[in-house]
Amino acid sequence: MHLPAFFDSAPRIIVRDPLARFLGAADDGILEFAYADAVKLAGHSCPTVASAYLMTRAALRALHPDALPERGGLRVEFRDDRLAGATGVVANVVGLLTGATADGGFKGIGGHFDRRNLLFFGVSLPGQMRVTRTDTHAAVDVSVRLDRVASDPRMPALLPACLHGTATAEELALFRSLWQARVERLLIDHADDPDVIIIERLRTRP
């Protein structure tokens, strides 16, 4: 399997999953996720997938500054409806990294490790997404400003030609290169850019 080389340079996300530990799926339940994992889940690499990955990373780092985040111990809320825009795509990536699901996830074992009812949509929020620790109730709001990582000016002409099958082989190759170049800039140059990945800490809720 050949993936773009920059995938390996993107930040990685390490979490501890109590369920993985309990069932012996990983030593001490420690799981490491790479951007390629999100790409495999979504089936493609794009700014939306990359921003979902980075927003989750930012939230986990803010909520667990001194320890590994606990996968399955996070509640995730979205401002938009599940069917609005790319919200469903973002939620799939966030769910992969946090373990949060709506009502169709893992039911748990003997009252433990339940991953259901941790993912919600259409919530009144100032940002795009809110992530809350279920143990301390500490929460952060996270948004992304993709307009601050502009696409190449040649893209508006290339995209319809590629979609309609009228692009040459050279134009198709250029389109793919420029598309992934924007994803690369987002993941490598702006992963920790507060003007692109915007995070706000909230007061701990009871």
Give 202's pLDDT tier (boundaries 50, 70, 90).
confident
Give 1's pLDDT tier (boundaries 50, 70, 90).
confident
Q: Where are the domains of the chain?
A: 11-146+190-202, 150-182
pLDDT of 162 strictly over 60: yes
Buried b (16+ CB within 10 A) or exposed e, 17-41: bebbeeeeeeeebebebbbebbbeb
Residues 6+ apart with CB under 8 A from 154: 174, 178
| CATH level 3 topology of 11-146+190-202 | 60s Ribosomal Protein L30; Chain: A; (3.30.1330)
Q: What percent of the chain has pLDDT over 90?
A: 95
Q: What is the pLDDT of residue 60?
A: 98
pLDDT of 103 strictly over 70: yes
pLDDT of 206 strictly over 70: no
- Beta pairing, strands 13-16 & 30-33: antiparallel
Quote the mean pLDDT of the chain: 96
